[in-house]
């Protein structure tokens, strides 16, 4: 029998295979359509503009520490920065952000997308707020500063002891208690004072950290020029060392106001008044600090330079001019009074006035002169703080 040539018979159709291919293509097209729709929906959920702020350009949201993703979502929705707690939870879970959300206070711009809100919380871009206690401010003023800060809560139990707070800028969070900030200021003062006291030098006249704070507080109030603090500290150290009174105007003011601004000049009656803080009338240091001094003033009294200066007065430029003798000081005072007269538009005077509260040091008794540094003359009966060191360099 002859063989039938290959390819000469009728073609065989494959309907089953063709149908499956058509079905697969149709299913793929449908899935692709669904996928496209899903991607568009996801994009719309994550990246479309979010709700507008209820007022202004931003919304403040505070997320407490330890809050879970559900609680965070509820807080965000209640604040009006997201539309759905469920969508927030799903988006956070989908992106893995649910385990990285950070507590804090956030400032969310109006219309921020859900993705943008999640990014803020993951990056921890919290609103940073600060409160500052300036150097030389009193504890009463520190309480005023914290009471005026509306973000803080609660009351301060008692006004802290003078000199017990550390002047610094502190970061605060909305809702923190005022007392907690005071406690932080106290701890910072204790830590820094311990560090500085350990670095004191042999030339320091103070005998305890408490005395260091008292003298440093006076130095802090006497000059706002940082470079002058060591020299002012040296003047007061020299006075204490020789038995002279400190004669510091800020101590008079503190005795009157207990740490608040006086708002006027010192009266002659106040200069002569006998108070525990009037260093024109008392020997040695006052009973407490008169402010909360900063690190520079404390370091200055713990390591004062070796000088013979015992006077200083304003120089007309914001600083002071120093003198070793009373005669030099009178000449410096005369120049300052001339500047004052010129600024006031008054005619020049022939005789320079004597600075208030300054009087020539009386002659010393033989005993006191023998025990004091030979650069100074000690008034009779003056209290002298002794330190085991040589006299200042000649």
Instruction: Please give the biggest Cα pair distance in the chain.
Output: 157
Q: Are 312 and 322 in contact (CB under 8 A)?
A: yes
| Phi, psi of 271, rounded to the nearest 5 degrees | -65, -35
Q: Alpha-carbon distance 308 to 331, whole Å?
A: 17
- Is residue 385 helix, strand or coil? coil
Q: Alpha-carbon distance 153 to 157, whole Å?
A: 12
At 295-316, the pLDDT tens digits run 999 999 999 999 999 999 988 8
Structural tokens at position 239: 């006075």
Sign of the CA dihedral with 111 first, then 114, 115, and 116 last: positive
- How far CA 171 is from CA of 28, 104, 131, 139, in Å, comes to 57, 12, 6, 19
Residue linked to tokens 């006075």: 239
* Percent with pLDDT over 70 in the chain: 77
At 61-115, the pLDDT tens digits run 988 888 888 999 999 999 998 898 888 888 888 888 888 888 888 889 999 898 8
Residue linked to tokens 């005071």: 182
Highest mean pLDDT among 165-174, 330-339, 357-366: 165-174
Structural tokens at position 273: 């008044």
Q: What is the pTM of this model?
A: 0.73
At 173-198, the pLDDT tens digits run 888 999 999 999 999 999 999 999 99
- Is residue 320 helix, strand or coil? strand
Task: Return the ∠ at Cα 87 (arms to 81 and 91), rounded to 5°.
Answer: 100
Mean pLDDT value across residues 148-161: 94
């Amino acid at each position: 029998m002859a063989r039938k040539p290959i390819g000469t018979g009728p073609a065989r159709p494959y309907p089953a295979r063709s149908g499956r291919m058509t079905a697969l293509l149709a299913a793929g097209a449908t899935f692709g359509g669904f996928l496209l729709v899903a991607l568009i929906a996801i994009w719309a959920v994550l990246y479309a503009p979010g709700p507008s702020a209820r007022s202004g350009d931003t919304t403040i949201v505070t997320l407490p520490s330890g809050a879970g993703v559900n609680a965070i979502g509820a807080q965000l929705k209640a604040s009006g920065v997201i539309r759905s707690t469920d969508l927030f939870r799903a988006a956070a879970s989908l992106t893995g952000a649910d385990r990285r959300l950070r507590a804090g206070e956030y400032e969310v711009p109006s219309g921020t997308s859900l993705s943008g809100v999640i990014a803020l919380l993951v990056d921890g871009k919290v609103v940073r707020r600060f409160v500052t206690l300036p150097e030389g401010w009193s504890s009463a003023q520190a309480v005023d500063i914290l009471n005026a800060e509306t973000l803080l809560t609660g009351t301060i139990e008692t006004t802290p002891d003078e000199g017990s707070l550390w002047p610094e800028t502190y970061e605060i969070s909305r809702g923190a208690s005022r007392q907690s900030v005071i406690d932080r200021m106290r701890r910072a003062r204790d830590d820094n004072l311990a560090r500085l006291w350990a670095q004191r030098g042999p030339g320091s006249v103070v005998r305890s950290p408490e005395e260091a704070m008292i003298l440093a507080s006076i130095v802090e109030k006497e000059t706002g020029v940082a470079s002058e603090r060591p020299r002012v500290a040296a003047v007061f150290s020299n006075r204490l060392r020789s038995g002279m009174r400190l004669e510091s105007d800020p101590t008079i003011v503190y005795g009157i106001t207990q740490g608040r601004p006086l708002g006027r000049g010192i009266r002659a009656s106040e200069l002569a008044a006998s108070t525990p803080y009037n260093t024109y009338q008392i020997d040695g240091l006052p009973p407490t600090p008169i402010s909360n001094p900063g690190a520079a003033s404390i370091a200055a009294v713990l390591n004062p330079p070796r000088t013979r200066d015992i006077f200083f007065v304003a120089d007309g430029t914001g600083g002071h001019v120093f003198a070793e003798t009373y005669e030099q000081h009178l000449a410096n005072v005369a120049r300052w009074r001339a500047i004052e007269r010129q600024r006031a538009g008054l005619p020049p005077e022939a005789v320079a006035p004597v600075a208030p509260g300054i009087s020539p040091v009386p002659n010393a008794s033989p005993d006191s002169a023998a025990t004091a540094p030979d650069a100074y003359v000690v008034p009779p009966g003056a209290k002298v703080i002794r330190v085991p060191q040589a006299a200042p360099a000649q």
